[in-house]
Amino acid sequence: MTYRCLFRIALLLCFSTTALSTSYSLLRFQQRRSINVCQKLLRQLPSTPQHCLEVRMHFQVPEEMKKAQKFRKEDAILVLYEMLQQIFGILTKDFSSTGWSETIIEGLLVELHGQMNHLEPIQKEIMQKENFTIGDSIVLHLKNYYFNLGQYLKSMEHNSCAWTIMKAEMLRNFSVLKRLTDYLLD
């Protein structure tokens, strides 16, 4: 077992779920590390064939995500969790036409699941305590955005070009996720 692996196990043993809910700095570290792993895995998937650019759609990311507005850490948690959940859902759809490595997709799903597990207790706390927040309205817009992605995949019959476009969109999503982690400070 490597030192890096032992360090990760020690971190997990030292910090219970309750401690995670109060240690935003640790959560930020975990999320950034996992986002980097996901980006690396996505980049290992085959590149875009030139003919796929013809079927590219320009999906409208919610306006709130484009603006450099100040998020509260609670809002960032809600948005991070929703995005991870939606990306996970997309990756569990039929990608057999892509020739993508199942090992890479499984690695992505494991990372996404781990990220959601770290966020879920805090997300639940926020949902119980908070009234309507900016995060709630963004989540509604995100659901529509991801619905459109799913509809695009369906209309393209989950073909390899549609998945190539999804890969590019997911890379863009992970860049947004990384920016959101900036708001996770103690």
Are the CB atoms for 87 and 112 separated by under 8 Å? Answer: yes
Give helix 73-91 / helix 134-155 axis angle, nearest 10°: 10
Q: Which of 6, 128, 24, 113 is nearest to 76 (CA)?
A: 24
Q: Looking at residue 157, what DSSP letter applies?
A: T
Q: In the predicted model, what is the mean pLDDT of the chain?
A: 82
**pLDDT tens digit sequence for 129-138:** 866 566 677 8
pLDDT for res 21: 45
**pLDDT tens digit sequence for 49-108:** 777 877 777 787 777 776 646 778 888 899 999 999 999 999 998 888 888 899 999 999
The amino acid occupying position 105 is I
pLDDT band at 46 (very low <50, low <70, confident <90, very high): confident
- pTM exceeding 0.85: no
Q: What angle do CA 134, 148, 170 make, to 5 degrees?
A: 80
Total count of residues recorded for the chain: 186
DSSP string for residues in 70-122: PPPHHHHHHHHHHHHHHHHHHHTS--GGGT--HHHHHHHHHHHHHHHHHHHHH
CATH architecture of the region 28-183: Up-down Bundle (1.20)
pLDDT for res 36: 96
pLDDT for res 132: 59
**pLDDT tens digit sequence for 122-131:** 988 888 886 6
Q: Which residues contact 155 (CB under 8 A, 6 or more apart)?
A: none
Select the more confidently predicted residue: 22 or 20: 22
